[in-house]
Each structure stands twice: as C-alpha cells, then as structure tokens.
Amino acid sequence: MKIGRLSHVGVAVESIEAHAPLYGGTLALEMLGTEVVPSQKVKVAFFKVGETRVELLEPTSPDSPIRSFLDKKGPGVHHLAYEVDDLEAALSEVKAGGVRLIDEKPRIGAGGIRIAFLHPQSTGGVLTELCERH
C-alpha cells in the first residue's frame, strides 16, 4: 500500500456557519465548498491547506454519527484521512495486518470519492479514513 498524502483532517462542529469565520476569515484558508452527504447524515465544508484540507463535519440529523461524537466528546478532531491509490487493496492489506475495519467495502463519501473507515481501537484511538485518489 502506498499512502500518497494526508488527504484531510476531519473536525466535528456543531455548526459550519459558526466556524466559517475562523477558518475562512481569521485563518484565511480558502473554502473549497460545502456539501450535504445524506448517507452519512452530515454537512461538510472543505478548507484548503496546501496539499491537504480541513473537513468540518456538522450533523444533519439526531442520529448522525457526528451528533453522537459531539455528545460524547464535544467538538474537535474527528478523524484523519489518508489518500491511497487502490482502496480495495489497501483495505485488504490493513486487514491482513490486524486492523479492524469499520467498512469492509468502500462507500461513497463527500465529492463522490470512495472511502472506508478503520476502527479507532485498532489505530491507537485515531479514527482513520482511507480515501481513493481520483
């Protein structure tokens, strides 16, 4: 498996609108856009940071995984996402290496990109996303 780069850092927030002035204003990061991802019950906003991005995640429903994260841990860093060339191959390799998968098969994330999550119990407490370069 070859990890190309850190694709993005996911940050859970109660409200993207409330945080846009920090990221887009004070930190002066370029906002690349927002998107609602119904399958994950989140609204996301991406801010460009060189070759990587910050992804703000706002829950869109009381049963959103981000809602339960916020309720348990409060706002903050939610996951790290690494970019890989071949997601199926990468999942097989990490599984063979003993990592527990949340997603046995790729699913579609923001931007139509194929993604899969690894279980934080297998990755030192860091929820880890692999996403496929496109």
Pick from 11, 13, 42, 81: which binds Zn ion (CB under 5 A)?
A: 81
- Sheet containing strand 107-108, edge to edge, reads 30-37, 42-49, 52-59, 3-12, 76-84, 128-132, 114-118, 107-108
User: Binding marks (x or -) toward Zn ion, 46..75, rule CB under 5 A?
Assistant: ---------x--------------------
Q: Is residue 118 a contact residue for Zn ion (CB under 5 A)? A: no
Is 11 one of the binding residues for Zn ion (CB under 5 A)? no
CA-to-CA distance for 81 and 129, rounded, in angstroms?
4
Which of 96/134 has CB closer to Zn ion?
134
Q: CB nearer to Zn ion: give 18 or 127.
A: 127
- Does residue 84 contact residue 130 with C-beta atoms inside 8 Å? yes
> Which range, of 27-35, 65-73, 77-85, 90-98, touches Zn ion by CB under 5 A?
77-85
Helices (H), 6-132: 16-20, 65-73, 87-96
Binding site for Zn ion (CB under 5 A): 10, 55, 81, 129
